[in-house]
Structure 1
C-alpha cells in the first residue's frame, strides 16, 4: 500500500437510473397491497366480533388471541407468496428484496402464532378458573381439528427457529431446506381448525369464503409458479456437465452445456438454482452464480467448497444431467449508474465478480477489482481477470492475523482509492467480508444506494 490508485473514468455512464425509480414504485405498490390485506382481515374480525368482545379481561384476551391468529394466518400466505415467484411481485420489487421481506415477515408470523396460543389459553384460564396447562388441554379436547393444528404450529416454530442466525449457521443447507419444505405441510395442518373452530368463520359465511379463497389462491400460485412452470422450463432447458475444473484451493468451476443454454436470458451477476442428477445432489437445488455467461453453447459456474453439496461438485461425472431454474438476482451491470465502479470479491464471490467485470468492460466501463483472499493459493480466476483489457485487479492477500489489519478497513481503502465517495461498489463474498466492506464504504461517505451486495438465497 505504498501508492494511491489513479483510474481514468470512461467517457459515458453505464446506464440511466430510471429502473431504480420503477423498483421503488413497485415496492410501494406491493407494500400497499399487503397493508390493504391486513386492513381487510381486521375488518373481517371487527364485523364478526360479538358485542362483549372486551367486556371482561377474559373476553379481551380471547379476542386478542383470535385477531392475532387471523392476522398471522394472512401473513403466512403473504410470506409464501413473496417467494412463490409470482411474476408481478418479482417485476415490481425484485427477488432480492422479496427474499428480505420474506425473512422479516417470518419473525412477525412467529410472534403472532405464539400470541394466538398464549392469549387464548390465558383468556380461557380466567374464564374457566383452570391452571394454564389444564386450559391448554381443555382447548385441545373441546375444539375440532386441534391436534393437527398443534402439530402444524410446532412445525412452524421449528422452521422459524431454524432460521435464527445462531442455529442456521450450525445446519447444513440440505437440513435447512427440507425443514422449510415442511412449511407447506404446516399451513395445511393449521388451516382446517381455523374454519371449524374459529368463531369469526363458523358464524360468518362471507369470512369463510374469503379465507378459503385466500388459501386456495396462495396454493395455486405456489403450484403454478414455484413447481409446475419451473419444472417444465427446467426440462426444456436441461443441461449436462461438460467439465469440472479446479480453479484454486477449495474453488471449482463446472462447465455446463445444452442446446437451449443461450436462450435462458442469463446475464452477468445472475444466479440459477441447479439440481444435478447425480448421487449426493438429488435432494436439493442450490443457488450458484455464473462466472461466465452463456457463449458457444456453454455456461460456467464457479463454486467454493463450503458445504456438503458444493464439496461434492468435483465428483460430478461428465455428461451428468442438470436442471436449472432461473435466472435470478439483480447483481447486474444495469444497476450501475456512476462512472467509477469498484468490484470487491472474496472466496467464491470471484465468480459473479469476474462475469460482472467482463460485462462492465463491454459497456465501456473500466472497473477496479479488489480481490480479497487468505493466500495466493486461493486466488481463483485471477489470470482471467488480469487478462481483461480495462480491468485493474488489486489482490489483497493474507489473513488479518498475519497482516495486522484488515485490507477492507477504512484507512486501507482510503489509501488505495482516496475519492471512494464518488464511486459505486459491487460486493460479493463471505458475509463477514461483505459487512466489513459495506461499513468501510459508508464510513468513506459512499451513499448507500451505490453499494450493491450479492444475494444468493431463495428462501
Structure 2
C-alpha cells in the first residue's frame, strides 16, 4: 500500500507500516463507524466563485450604465472633471457595498467560495475601491476649482463647508485607516483586537458614504435610482446584522457549547473537545472551520479561526491547536465547563470540491487538522486515498496514531515526509512527489500547511502536471475580518 521514494543522505521519507504491529509512539483504535443515517438533510447551498464574480461584475456594469444614461457630453473642462468624478464616485460606493457583502459571512458564499479566497478578493477589492475614492476626490476637486476659477486650496475649503462633503471626507479617512492597517507590514505589528476594531470603522465609513451619495446628483436625481441604491444598502446591512450577530447569538443559545476536555497531542499541540446540544444541526463538514470565542479571561474578546480535526460525533466538536502566541497559550489552559461561542461552519475546503476518484491529501505541520477529518470521511476504496504529511522530524507529527489507524482501516497510503525545510533535498519537488504518487496528475489534491510550504507545494504540483483547478487549498491565515 505504500511506495517508498528514493533515499537522500539528508532526508528520508518514512512510509507508514500499516500492519497492526506497526511501530509508532502510541496506538489508537480504528475510527468508529458513523451512526446509522437518518433523514437526508437539505443540500447545503453553495454559490460558485465564478457566479459570484459574474454577479459582482454585472453589478459594476449596471452602475456604469446608471452613470451613462445620466451623463451629458460636454467639451468644457469642468464638465469633463465632473463627469469622471460621478463615475468613479458611483463605482467607489458600489465597491464599498461589495466589500461589506464579502465579509458578511453569508453561508452560501462562504461554503461555495472559501474563506481564504474571499479574503483575497476583499483585500484586492479594498485597494481598487480606495483607488476609485482617490480618483473621485481629485476629479471632483479639480472640477470645482475650474468651475469656480479658484485654486485647489480655496476649493478644498469651500467644499468642506458642505455637510455631505464633510461626511465623505470622514468616511474616506476611516477607509484609509482600514487599508493602512491591512498592509502586511503594518498588520503584523498590531494586536488582532486593534486591527479588528479599525476594520469595524468600515461600517461607519459606509454609512457616511451613503449620506454623501444621496446628496449627489447621480442618486438624488430620480426616485427610482434613490430607491434602488437605498435597497442595495439596506440588503447588505440586513445580511451583516443577521449572519454576524443574530445567527451566532441564536446558535449560542440553542447549542450551549462548553469545553469538555483539553488533551495534549504532541509537544506544544493540544486538542480541545467542545460538547453541546444538537451539534449535528450545525451541519459542519470535514475540512471546515469555526471562529471560536472562549468565554474565559484573555480569550473572550477574540474569535479564533480553527478547523475541525475530527468529524462531528456524539454532539462533540474537536479542534487541534498549536501553541504559537498568547491566545493559543490560553487555549491550552482552558478548563472543562468553559462556555464557547462558535460562529460557523465556514470554508469550502470540503469533499464537494472533489472531481476525481483518486485524492491526494498534502499536509504541513498543524495543517494536518482539516485533512485528518477528510482522511477519515472522504469516500473512496482501497488505493484511492493518499496522505503525505510534511514535518521537520517525528516530534512534529500531530495525531499520528489516529492517522495510522485510519490508514489501516481504509487501506489508504500514508507517508511522512521528514526533514529540515532548508535541506538540500526537497521532498515536495515534482520528481519526489511523482515517486510517491506515480499517477499524481490523475488526482485531486487537497493542500493545507504554512503559507510558504503551501506556495512551494502548489508550484511543484503544477510542474508535476496537476491542473490548478484540481489543487484545492485554503490558507486560514488569510480570512476576511
| TM-superposed deviation, 1:222 | 1.5
Contact 2:144 2:155 in 1 (8 A): yes
> 1:34 pairs with 47, 52, 56, which one?
56
Partner residue in 1 for 2:294: 276
Question: Is 1:168 aligned to residue 176 of structure 2?
Answer: no
| TM-superposed deviation, 1:334 | 3.6
Partner residue in 1 for 2:66: 44
Tell me the TM-score normalised to structure 1 length. Answer: 0.87
| Per-residue CA distance 1:59-84 (angstroms, 9 max, x = gap) | 21222112111111012112212332
> 1:121 pairs with 125, 128, 141, which one?
141
Contact 1:251 1:380 in 2 (8 A): yes
> 2:419 pairs with 398, 423, 428, which one?
398
Q: 1:87 to 1:349 in 2, by over 3 A?
A: closer
Contact 2:171 2:209 in 1 (8 A): yes
Distance in 2, matches of 1:186 and 1:79, equals 12
Question: Is 1:299 aligned to residue 297 of structure 2?
Answer: no
Distance in 2, matches of 1:81 and 1:190, equals 16
| Per-residue CA distance 1:290-329 (angstroms, 9 max, x = gap) | 0012212322101223344333211212110001122122
- Point out the structure with the larger helix share: 1
Distance in 2, matches of 1:318 and 1:6, equals 37
Q: 1:35 to 1:448 in 2, by over 3 A?
A: closer
| Per-residue CA distance 1:362-419 (angstroms, 9 max, x = gap) | 7766422221123332211112112222233322223233x22332122332333333
| TM-superposed deviation, 1:452 | 0.8
Structure 1 vs Structure 2 CA RMSD: 2.7
Structure 1 alignment gaps of length 5 or more: 8-21
Contact 2:359 2:445 in 1 (8 A): yes
Contact 1:34 1:78 in 2 (8 A): yes
What is the SS of the residue equivalent to 1:295? Answer: coil
Q: 1:40 to 1:342 in 2, by over 3 A?
A: closer
Distance in 2, matches of 1:89 and 1:455, equals 17
Partner residue in 1 for 2:93: 73
Partner residue in 1 for 2:6: 2
| Per-residue CA distance 1:140-168 (angstroms, 9 max, x = gap) | 12x22333322211111121233333333
Structure 2 alignment gaps of length 5 or more: 8-12, 17-44
Contact 1:385 1:391 in 2 (8 A): no
> 2:157 pairs with 110, 120, 137, which one?
137
Question: Is 1:220 aligned to residue 238 of structure 2?
Answer: yes
| TM-superposed deviation, 1:113 | 1.0
Q: Greater CA deviation, 239-248 or 122-131?
A: 122-131
| Per-residue CA distance 1:255-299 (angstroms, 9 max, x = gap) | 111122233222211111211111111212122100012212322
> 2:282 pairs with 264, 275, 281, which one?
264
Distance in 1, matches of 2:114 and 2:362, equals 22
Q: Greater relative contact order: 1 or 2 (C-alpha under 8 angstroms, separation 6 or more)?
A: 2
Q: 1:184 to 1:404 in 2, by over 3 A?
A: same
Distance in 1, matches of 2:295 and 2:14, equals 47
Distance in 1, matches of 2:349 and 2:111, equals 15
Distance in 2, matches of 1:300 and 1:29, equals 33
Distance in 1, matches of 2:146 and 2:235, equals 38
> 2:464 pairs with 421, 444, 456, which one?
444
Q: 1:231 to 1:397 in 2, by over 3 A?
A: same
Partner residue in 1 for 2:79: 59
Tell me the TM-score normalised to structure 2 length. Answer: 0.83
Q: Greater CA deviation, 367-376 or 315-324?
A: 367-376
Distance in 1, matches of 2:464 and 2:380, equals 29
Partner residue in 2 for 1:156: 175
Distance in 2, matches of 1:151 and 1:336, equals 47
Q: Greater CA deviation, 403-412 or 323-332?
A: 403-412
Distance in 2, matches of 1:363 and 1:186, equals 53
Q: 1:176 to 1:54 in 2, by over 3 A?
A: farther
| TM-superposed deviation, 1:117 | 0.9
Distance in 2, matches of 1:164 and 1:421, equals 36
Partner residue in 2 for 1:434: 454
Q: 1:425 to 1:395 in 2, by over 3 A?
A: same
| TM-superposed deviation, 1:247 | 1.9
Partner residue in 1 for 2:128: 108
- Counting matched residue pairs gives 439
What is the SS of the residue equivalent to 1:393? Answer: strand
1:14-25 to 2 correspondence within 5 Å? none
